[in-house]
Amino acid sequence: AQSVSQHNHHVILSEAASLELGCNYSYGGTVNLFWYVQYPGQHLQLLLKYFSGDPLVKGIKGFEAEFIKSKFSFNLRKPSVQWSDTAEYFCAAEESYIPTFGRGTSLIVHP
Amino acid sequence: KAGVTQTPRYLIKTRGQQVTLSCSPISGHRSVSWYQQTPGQGLQFLFEYFSETQRNKGNFPGRFSGRQFSNSRSEMNVSTLELGDSALYLCASSPTSGRAGELFFGEGSRLTVL
């Protein structure tokens, strides 16, 4: 069965700091990869997704993620975070139409 | 366009009871999937329905069941509730079947089992 690991459970940064959240998945075949975000009091929404092609994908609000097949990784990055990026971030891998989510990373950005 | 609507938003039940949760997808979306979210296990996939048929199922016991109606609205039912069933139950809709990138989530139904 697929598993998704998010290495950082809690991350605290100051505004303008750079962000990288780790995500590793277990399946060696074809997977679709996603990052979702849940802002305080809001529902989960898609940040970005990778199906195929360019391994560097860009999402909303300046986020990007890089798919590295050899490392089974799909890390999320942002060069300069803002206070409004405070949220919970979930990595997900879809194999055979079934999504598996990581346990999430809580990001707090101090102004 | 209205989003995914889940009812009720909060409910409290006791062990052994059963519960039914409802989800109205975005208009035109034919796929509805359900997830359980807990602090310990994170988000776990329960099942997905498309055009009234269960397409995929996660690794949950048979106490968890669901159905989808002809108007794409979906219900999930949990019978013989256990304390461990306390969780946020999320519903997501999609215009197609089984493509997680196109999921639109509701705000969830928070179930507390006493």
pLDDT at B49: 93
pLDDT at A29: 77
Site of tokens 């996660």:
B58
Residue B61's contacts (CB-CB under 8 Å, 6 or more residues apart) are none
Site of tokens 């519960």:
B19
Q: Which of A37, A97, A105, A106 best probes binding to B when mutated, by most B CB atoms within 10 angstroms? A: A97
A19-33, A67-81, B76-90: least confidently modelled range: A19-33
Q: How confident is the model at residue A10 (pLDDT cuts 50, 70, 90)?
A: very high
The predicted-structure confidence for A43-102, as pLDDT tens digits, reads as follows: 999 999 998 899 999 999 999 999 999 999 999 999 999 999 999 999 999 887 788 999
Burial of A26 (0-12, 13-18, 19+ CB in 10 A): middle
Average pLDDT over residues B89-102: 77
**Cis, peptide link before residue A55, omega less than 30° from 0:** no
Size (chain B), residues: 114
Average pLDDT over residues B97-112: 81
| Beta-bridge partners for A11 | A107
**Token pair of B103 as six digits:** 């999921």
pLDDT at A23: 96
Q: Is some CB atom of chain A closer than 8 A to the CB atom of B100?
A: yes
- How far is C-alpha A72 from the chain's CA centre? 13
Q: Which of A101, A105, A106 best probes binding to B when mutated, by most B CB atoms within 10 angstroms? A: A101
H or E element: which one contains A24?
strand A24-25
Q: Is some CB atom of chain B closer than 8 A to the CB atom of A89?
A: no
Average pLDDT over residues B94-102: 66
Per-position DSSP letters for A51-82, written without gaps between them: -SS-SEEE-GGG-EEEEEGGGTEEEEEESS--
Predicted confidence (pLDDT) at residue B98 exceeds the cutoff of 80: no
Please work out, in degrees rounded to the nearest 5, the angle formed at the alpha carbon of residue B66 by the alpha carbons of B107 and A29.
Answer: 80
pLDDT at B88: 96
Q: Is some CB atom of chain B closer than 8 A to the CB atom of A104?
A: yes
Q: How confident is the model at residue B101 (pLDDT cuts 50, 70, 90)?
A: low
Measure Cα distances from A18 to A11, B4, B81, B102 in Å.
12, 33, 44, 28
Site of tokens 């975070």:
A81
